[in-house]
Amino acid sequence: MTDLIGFYSDHKIAAPLAIAQRSAKFKPFAAEIARRGILQISTCARLEFYGEKSVLEDIDGKPFLGFSYGRVEGAIAIAYRLATIAAGVHSQILGEGFISDQLMQAIESGDPNLSIFKLARVAVDLGSAARKRQEFFAEFDYVQIVEDIIADRFSDKAPLDRIYIIGAGMLGQELIRGNVGERFRSTVVITRNPKKLRKRLNTGPKTNVTFMRPSEVGRTREPESMVVIATTDVDNKYKAILQETLLRLGPRIILDLSSIPVLTREAIGQLDYVNMYGDEFLRFIEQNNQRLAPKLPLVVSDIKAALGAAV
């Protein structure tokens, strides 16, 4: 495994929004790249490639044109980086739990007999175990963020309209099952394909939600409603449809949890719009990271010790 190398860029060495946009361009090709024996990690905060030197050398730097990026060589160094990523050490929100699942999805798309995918699976297991041992858990998750913003924006106890969730991937499903719509009249999931989404949600715990297409939303204004955008699967056509829909609806707040903001403040006029790059959201991250910072050395030491015992 000594001929393994990796190239990476993340929010620590590149502008977060820029890396999210670049990562989104590569994400559709992850399965194809995996068939070439390359582990591609493309999430909202990182774009990384790992594999045999003979396979990866010819793409050195090409995906990162215009970006700063790092290089790591050797099985131990790569395992250490992947384990620390899995533990949430390199996440924008320290200790967040999504990243290990995202890594496993990337690993499972490759040939399990190839060295890089074997190594990555071991590294993720080590990192996840270290996170649990050191209780390196984010103080809040996205459900908590949404609940905190609801408490702030709807503190007057007035009767509420509906909460609308756009998107039901991993994040959207967490919000639905986290019952963020408890204070609202009902929860509505906006989707272009209600039948497909209803079937997907039925695979888990039962949820009391309504499904609507964008064209069905906003027939009457709902000034005491809230919209949460929880998807990046938005092309320009769908973006224009959503913008028109939300302007009709007139919610009290639009919370955009997409790594690539779907809307702009100019597009939604006077509506209250909060995205992941605004001061309000960044304060949530800062509070969490300050609390977990003292545990960073403990998690790192734990992972180093586990790697030493594994080799």
Q: What is the pLDDT of residue 89?
A: 97
Same structural domain for residues 41 and 131?
Answer: yes
Same structural domain for residues 148 and 133?
Answer: no
Same structural domain for residues 184 and 270?
Answer: yes
Structure tokens at 189: 């999931």
Q: What is the pLDDT of residue 288?
A: 93
Tell me how far apart the alpha carbons of residues 239 and 258 are, in angstroms, rounded to a whole number.
13
Same structural domain for residues 187 and 239?
Answer: yes
Same structural domain for residues 300 and 272?
Answer: no
Same structural domain for residues 129 and 169?
Answer: no
Report which DSSP code applies to 159.
P
* Residue 256, in any domain of the structure: yes
Q: What is the pLDDT of residue 79?
A: 97
CATH of the domain at 160: 3.40.50.720
Q: Domain total for the chain?
A: 2
Placement of tokens 């403990």 in the chain: 298
Q: What is the pLDDT of residue 203?
A: 46
Same structural domain for residues 170 and 222?
Answer: yes
Q: What is the pLDDT of residue 248?
A: 92
Average pLDDT of adjacent 10-residue blocks, the chain of 311 residues: 86 92 91 93 94 83 87 95 97 91 93 95 97 92 86 85 86 83 90 69 61 87 94 83 92 92 86 90 91 97 90 60
Global pTM reads 0.84
* Residue 49, in any domain of the structure: yes
Tell me how far apart the alpha carbons of residues 7 and 240 are, in angstroms, rounded to a whole number.
36
Tell me how far apart the alpha carbons of residues 263 and 256 are, in angstroms, rounded to a whole number.
8
Same structural domain for residues 118 and 183?
Answer: no
Range of the domain at 205: 142-277
Same structural domain for residues 100 and 155?
Answer: no
Structure tokens at 124: 């993720």
Inter-residue contact 230 to 167 (CB < 8 Å): yes
Same structural domain for residues 183 and 250?
Answer: yes
Phi-psi region of 122 (alpha: psi -120 to 50; beta: other; left: phi over 0): alpha
* Residue 288, in any domain of the structure: no
Task: Tell me the residue type at 88.
Answer: G
Same structural domain for residues 109 and 189?
Answer: no
Nearest to 91 by CA among 118, 65, 127, 38: 127
H or E stretch at 229: strand 226-229
Q: What is the pLDDT of residue 7?
A: 94
Same structural domain for residues 80 and 183?
Answer: no
Going 209 to 210 to 215 to 221, the CA torsion angle's sign is: negative
